[in-house]
Amino acid sequence: MNTDSLGYIFLSSFLINNFVLAYFLGICPFLGVSGKLATATRMGGAVTFVMFVASVSAYGIHSLLVSVDALFLQLICYIVIIASTVQFVEMFIKKMSPALFKALGIFLPLITTNCAILGVALFQTNREYSFLQSIIYSFGAGAGFTLALVIMAGLREELDLASVPNIIKGAALTLMIAGIMSVSFMGFAGLGG
């Protein structure tokens, strides 16, 4: 398959180069909100939406900056867009579902500093994706992030019942599981290639 084809771009960002497990982007929410399955799914949805908006805006801003020859402002513009989108999502969730707003807690405003989102914007610019490719890429990345988060949440819900030594409880155990997941995701390499 052609590496520029839309199907490959989606598969690549969804499974092969999964944002969390291969690029280590978005580790904070991955470790922080992966305790419960329901919260993880919704967090994934919120992040996917912000990614989509960020990706579309990043494409527009990049073309604008190229035309006025001010590429050094790229990073600053991207982060401003992301921050304002997150603010918008935050207000929306607060209004629609106060319970979810409580469950996500501090991690909702922290989507601003979720590297996965800025990562999508930067990578698509670096690879010179077209408008359609950028959108597909952001959806793939969002779906991949949600997938990793949901798998981890499912595993951790089961692990709560298992007895593990005191010393490994918490982040160390989560990281070990993430390592095993990452190794198993390496099996997708070559898929569609």
Partner 1 sequence: MSAKTFDSFIKPLWKENPVFVQLLGMCPVLAVSNSVYNSLAMGLATLFVLMMSAALVSLLRKVIPKQVRIAAYILIIATFVTMAEYLIQAISLEVYKNLGAFIALIVVNCMILGTAEAFSSKNTLGKALIQAFGVGVGFIFAIFCMGAVREILGNGTFAEIPVFSENYEPWVIMILPGGGFFALGLLLLVFNSIQQKLKKKEN
Which positions lie near partner 1, rule CB under 8 A?
21-28, 31, 72, 75-76, 79-80, 83, 109-110, 112-115, 117-119, 122-123, 126, 167-168, 171-173, 175-176, 178-180, 182-183, 186
Between 87 and 97, whose beta carbon lies closer to partner 1? 87
Q: Give the nearer residue to partner 1 in terms of CB position, either 93 or 178.
A: 178
CB distance 77 to 65 below 8 Å: yes
In the complex, least distance from residue 150 CB atom to partner 1, rounded to whole angstroms: 18
Question: Burial letters for 147-185: b for 16+ Cβ neighbours within 10 Å, e otherwise?
Answer: bbbbbbbebbeeeeeeeeeeeeeeeebbeeebeebeeeb
Closest CB 22 distance from partner 1, rounded Å: 5
- Residue closer to partner 1 (CB basis): 23 or 49: 23
Angle at which helices 37-68 and 115-126 pack, to 10 degrees? 40
